[in-house]
Amino acid sequence: MHPIPAAVYFAAVIVISMFTMHPVFIILSLAGSVLGCAVLGGRKAFSGWPFYVIVFLLTALINPLVVHRGQTVLFYIGLRAVTAEALIYGFAAAGVLVSVLMWFKCMGLVLTDDKIMYLFGRTLPKTALVISAATRLVPLFVRQIRVSADTQKCMGAGTGKGMRGRISMAARVFSANISRSLEDAVETAASMRARGYGAAKRSSYAPFKAGASDILSGAVIALLLAAVIYGLISGAAEFSYYPSPALVAADPHSLTIYICYGLLLLLPVLTSAAGRIKWKYCMSAI
């Protein structure tokens, strides 16, 4: 997918998820983000699930302990009342937080480094080049340090002399590698000059070309987004938890907004599913 519609999509979804406290919106966002992660990243995307569960529970349970508004008192801790409304609000806030985290994860899966670079490169070509060079250098430096430290260890440097020996060995390895990186940088600079760097006004190239499907998905995103924003302005996402939770509106206007928002959030899942069906169809045709 082309980086621009993808970036617009995720920015919009994350912002809307962050600022709506309507339970239907939250549930839709949570469902969309979890399904999106599952479809885009597979099993690997959920390797850190305990973290999300802990964040969810902590956020949900802390709210009723610090907020004491609401009508329905469940029990007292000392003089403080723990209310059902605060607990519900806690779950809603936890839903928002976790869904936003999951959306970020989805975004990471779709907008890989080179796509982000492309987005930067259009407006800030020099910054883009610096970032590109830096993303190469950092892992390189880390790897070099690891090899150096192993080599030194193999020659007995810093072994058998306790913590101090090891620390001073590490310090030397670090400084040696810093100066080595600087030398490498001189060579890189020569290579840049040899390839005409600074000779003319630079252009910025990226291997992304907007195709028909990008335009189509861009249009769909824009349409759904417009509907949702209209809904937000008209107050479909307003919801009050205190003193007692309001009823969830179910009039045709609200339902339409819910469906539009749901479709927007499920776009990654739907396009991926459509892709799979198409593939299956193609395969059976072959």
Partner 1 sequence: MEILHVSNLSFKYPGSDIPALRDVSFDVAPGEFITIFGPSGCGKTTLLRLIKKELAPYGEAMGEILYCGRPVQKLSAAESSEMGFVMQRPEGQIVTDTVWHELAFGLENLGLPSDVIRRRVAETAAYFGIEEWFNQKTAELSGGQKQILNLASVLSMQPRLLLLDEPSAQLDPIGSAELFSALRRLNSETGLTVIMAEHRLQDAFEISDRIILLEDGAVIASAPPAELLKTLKSGGLCEKFIPALPAPVRVFDALTDEGCEGYTCPVTVRDGRRFLASICTAPHERMAAAAESYTAGNAPGSAAAGVPATESGPADMREALADAFAAHSSGRAYEAYRPETKPASVSTQNGEAYEDAAGDAYCGRAGDVPALELYGVSFRYSRNGGDVLKGISFSAPAGRICCLLGGNGSGKSTLLSVSAGLLKPYEGRVKIFGKRLHEYKNGSLYRGTAAMLPQDALTVFTGDSIDEDISAHCRLTGMPEDEARRQMERIYTLMHIAHLKGRHPADLSGGEQQKCAIAKLLLSNPRLLLLDEPSKGMDAFAKAELADIFKALKSAGKTVLIVTHDVEFACDVADVCALLFDGGIASKGAPRQFFAGNHYYTTPANRMSRGILPDAVTVREVIELCRERTERR
Interface residue list for partner 1 (CB under 8 A): 113-114, 117, 129, 132-133, 135-136, 139-140, 143-144, 147-148, 150-161, 165, 168-169, 172-173, 175-176, 179-180, 183-184, 187-188, 190-207, 209
| Residue among 79 and 138 whose Cβ is closer to partner 1 | 138
Q: Which residue's entry shows tokens 């920015």?
A: 11
Phi–psi pair at 74, nearest 5 degrees: -85, -50
CB of 113 to partner 1, least distance (A): 7
| Residue among 68 and 153 whose Cβ is closer to partner 1 | 153
CB of 152 to partner 1, least distance (A): 7
Distance of alpha carbon 85 from its chain centroid, rounded? 30
- Asked if 6 and 109 count as a contact pair (C-beta separation under 8 A), the reply is no
| Residue among 183 and 251 whose Cβ is closer to partner 1 | 183
| Residue among 157 and 249 whose Cβ is closer to partner 1 | 157
CB of 108 to partner 1, least distance (A): 16
Q: Which residue's entry shows tokens 């593939």?
A: 279
Cβ-defined contacts of 247-254 (< 8 Å, 24+): 248/23, 248/24
The sign of the dihedral angle between the CA atoms of 225, 229, 235, 241 is positive
| Residue among 154 and 247 whose Cβ is closer to partner 1 | 154
CB of 159 to partner 1, least distance (A): 3
Burial (CB count <10 Å: 0-12, 13-18, 19+), residue 40: middle
| Residue among 72 and 114 whose Cβ is closer to partner 1 | 114
